[in-house]
């Protein structure tokens, strides 16, 4: 692997800019049977909460045109088990972990953040302030700039590693929220989480998901993600991990041009579990064809360069 793909972000020294997105890769165990996890740029692990959570009743997934809805409801084994079992398992791989953390109150986040950040292979945190699938909060942290900033500040105070804040796309003005968390000390942003959506089953005449609404992910939301990253990257000076519908190396490049400095791949792992290593290979080739020495050069080119517009 050449140096074309290597990038360095706060807390994340990555061999390449590709990481699986939180919630779409569990804690890596299943995928570790398919390929060497050390080939990944980083790993975004499933949201960890203080207590273990069963999550929502099933059905938890439904399909939509070019996308899918999920309402998993942050199922996870809880802080203790994540720290004692899941993270140590991942230590056998040479790959930085971006630990996604969630909660319903500020104290939850702070407590989980403090403990998870101490794990040797967790080199950055991802604050999930945008999960649409838990009733008791979650998303409200992501729609109010002041609340989001206060939470960021509280977590920054206890975290030993850099903190990325994962933004919700279900807002009118994402720039204001991004700037608020930047000011509160966030080291980077992850965007976007899922859009809120619903599908109704014509036979039962009820929403397919037991939780009724769910988070929309996959190719369908890609244009929304690209637009938001384009807007935000011009107005903040912290790096953005871009995600939302990525399925091809061209998509990765599109996110970089929009202003992302790394990308996460979510839903596409379900369609093709080998997608991440495949994208890494294809990206390397694409950059050679494009005569780009390091993918870094592409960050924000859609707004920073003076290329002629056709």
Q: Is 275 near ligand FMN (CB under 6 A)?
A: no
From the list 7, 43, 62, 74, which residue makes contact with ligand FMN (rule: CB under 6 A)?
74
Class of residue 63 by CB neighbours under 10 A (exposed 0-12, middle 13-18, buried 19+): exposed
- Encoded one letter per residue, x for contact with its own copies by CB under 8 A and - for no contact, window 197-226 reads xxxxxx-xxxx--x-xx--x-xxxxxxx-x
Q: Which does 302 bind (CB under 5 to 8 A by kind): other proteins, its own copies, ligand FMN, none?
A: its own copies
Residues across the chain: 310
From the list 247, 284, 296, 301, which residue makes contact with other proteins (rule: CB under 8 A)?
247
Class of residue 26 by CB neighbours under 10 A (exposed 0-12, middle 13-18, buried 19+): middle
Least distance in Å: CB of 110 to its own copies?
Answer: 24
Q: Which range, of 31-39, 144-152, 241-249, 294-302, touches ligand FMN by CB under 6 A?
A: 241-249
Least distance in Å: CB of 11 to its own copies?
Answer: 28
Integer CA distances (angstroms), 249 to 17, 40, 66, 128, 222, in order: 11, 15, 18, 26, 14
From the list 1, 13, 30, 66, which residue makes contact with its own copies (rule: CB under 8 A)?
66
- Encoded one letter per residue, x for contact with ligand FMN by CB under 6 A and - for no contact, window 110-149 reads ------------------x--x------------------
Q: Is 93 near other proteins (CB under 8 A)?
A: no
Q: Is 72 near ligand FMN (CB under 6 A)?
A: yes
Nearer residue to other proteins within complex by CB, 31 or 109: 31
121 phi and psi angles, rounded to 5 deg: -95, -5
Which 23-42 positions form the footprint of other proteins (CB under 8 A)?
23-26, 29-31, 33-34
User: Does the annotation count 306 as an active-site position?
Assistant: no
Longest dimension (CA), the chain: 55
Separation of alpha carbons 180 and 196, rounded Å: 23
Rg of the chain over CA atoms, in angstroms? 18
From the list 121, 230, 278, 296, which residue makes contact with its own copies (rule: CB under 8 A)?
230
Provide the token pair at 81: 């088990």
114 phi and psi angles, rounded to 5 deg: -60, -45
The number of angstroms, rounded, from the C-alpha of 61 to the middle of its chain's C-alpha atoms is 19
Least distance in Å: CB of 98 to its own copies?
Answer: 25
Q: Provide the CB-side half-sphere exposure for 153 (13 A, CA).
A: 9
């Amino acid at each position: 692997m050449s140096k074309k793909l290597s990038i360095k972000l706060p807390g994340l020294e990555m061999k390449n800019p590709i990481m699986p997105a939180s919630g779409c890769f569990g804690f890596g165990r299943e995928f570790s049977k398919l390929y060497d996890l050390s080939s990944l740029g980083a790993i975004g692990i499933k949201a960890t909460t203080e207590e273990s959570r069963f999550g929502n009743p099933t059905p938890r997934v439904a399909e939509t045109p070019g996308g899918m809805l999920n309402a998993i409801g942050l199922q996870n084994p809880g802080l203790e088990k994540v720290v004692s079992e899941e993270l140590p398992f991942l230590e056998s791989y040479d790959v930085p972990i971006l630990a996604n953390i969630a909660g319903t109150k500020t104290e939850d986040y702070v407590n989980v953040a403090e403990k998870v950040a101490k794990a040797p292979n967790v080199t950055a945190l991802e604050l999930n302030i945008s999960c649409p699938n838990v009733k008791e909060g979650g998303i409200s942290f992501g729609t109010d700039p002041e609340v989001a900033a206060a939470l960021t500040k509280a977590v920054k105070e206890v975290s030993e590693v850099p903190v990325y804040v994962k933004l919700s796309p279900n807002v009118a003005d994402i720039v204001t929220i991004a700037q608020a968390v930047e000011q509160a000390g966030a080291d980077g942003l992850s965007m976007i989480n899922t859009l809120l959506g619903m599908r109704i089953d014509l036979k039962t005449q009820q929403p397919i998901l037991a939780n009724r609404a769910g988070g929309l992910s996959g190719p369908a939301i890609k244009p929304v993600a690209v637009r938001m990253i384009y807007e935000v990257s011009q107005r903040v000076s912290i790096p953005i991990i871009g995600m939302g519908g990525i399925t091809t190396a061209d998509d990765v490049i599109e996110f970089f041009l929009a202003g992302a400095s790394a990308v996460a791949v979510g839903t596409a792992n379900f369609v093709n579990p080998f997608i991440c290593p495949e994208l890494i290979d294809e990206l390397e080739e694409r950059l050679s064809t494009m005569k780009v020495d390091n993918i870094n050069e592409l960050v924000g080119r859609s707004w920073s360069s003076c290329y002629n517009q056709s």
